[in-house]
Structure 1
């Protein structure tokens, strides 16, 4: 979806159309989503609201409405399931679809993408973009090329030349820090990356080195997994006023513990590892975890353990964010459907 949260707000409130808006808290929060009008000024998701306002003084902040976003997301997924059951949601606004064998027997993956995007617009009033190719990595990269409201196909015959000419910062999985490291090594495009041996890349980038070696050659074997296994459940809060003392922290930890328990109870989830996240006023970050042999099972246990982790903090600085997350969950992996991708590419036009 194109700037999903922000687009929903502009759709539901026509007075916001064409304006620079950010979904999130204006005073002490972060930007959850920015409209394309705001992005022109450098406003991006996960950016501190204060920074966003400095970049775009006329930026309008809108409080998030996650129930509304979930409602629309469900409608969009229903459209996906008209074509295939092999849908792997990544978030409320993004998913992979394997349409090798689709329910409508449409031979062209490009045509399927066009139909889905048109149905999304007709039923929600929102635009979507699509990437079509032979694996998830290439489809993901392609989906960003003709945004907003477009699609891009990377034909099997064009994969090699496409990747060789692709700037390394456009490779999915290459973040800003990694990209800068690659630049310092003279790696600017896929063709530069391709010259490096797997041993060289592993030495420079650790386990990710093998991933870079393969994807620059168009190799990515990850299947579309219709049942993603939830690995953690987290709650966190950014505070309007900094927290300075233990009493304030304890009050917030208790509230977070109760919220975490409510979320876990709804889905019958238990976990063994509890992690406390602290973000200080200067944006430095601290996390610390405790793992138990038995599952955590109550808000009281989260609260007591959270306080123990708080005592391990390295600094006595003002706190702007606290978070608790539970991992090593009792969710069991389910057998996944495996289908080799052999998508026919009969139409090469991009929109």
Structure 2
């Protein structure tokens, strides 16, 4: 177990962080003044008068009812697997990027490759319900940037997050997933397999105690960790009211670069990215657009060419390539395509079906079709 925490030290940390009424600011103030959680509980309450209110001092004098159960559970969890550890503010490998944020976590639970914390990282976030193209973009950019040595940081959510993690795993930089639950409560459940892959090849992180379920207020708060770990934040797709824009704002407030991939003016999932671009985010078309704004990466490989992240038609029959050319890059209906070309409905539908099977076209809601750029 890292941090050389003894059982009594872990008990003091958990008691401090689990005491009602002791938030991050109060706990941080106590640790700055006294040096350790143990010192907090060794002093008489009167010695804390200048640091805490009377109500807070009273709360600290009483051990939380659930503390012993949580302590035993956490200790067993740490002992059962060498890949598990705790990261404490002040540890030598506490990420400098996270330390530089307004409220770095005092304690983090880790599972996986702890060494990923000290390498260069990039947050990649976006919609839980992305378009097919957004899903492709998230995975393609994450993989290309991971191949350059960046660790891809995201939140294990559905949609863009999951695609970003898979892309990160496919490159040498790997990926870090920041959870809004305890590390023993993977959410969403359909990502349990992905979480297992990340544990084996990347890193799972949470500031929430074991057993913490999926609670809505916790997810926006964990976004500050996603933003804080990265040198920048790439938003792939996002609606105007979304957690991804919260992460981008937190990244900007921390002095990090914010990047956004533009999309269709007709897509609600592109409006968040367009709003970021109006606010000064850097428009991203290729991985070079991201890498140019970041410090040089160690032993960086040659950046993918623009063509590797744009649609290709090699090997596609001529008639179907013509359909792709007519589609452009906006969602279109069958009627619109018929008006643009000379195919009858049955023949055009057959071409679209074949293109779907080839992965070149996605069928959207409302009987719309959209061309997919394949990395």
Instruction: Please indicate, yes or no, whether the TM-score normalized by the shorter chain is above 0.5.
Output: no
**More relative contact order in 1 or in 2 (CA 8 Å, sep 6+)?**
1
- TM-score calculated relative to the size of structure 1: 0.25
More helix by share: 2
Larger Rg: 2
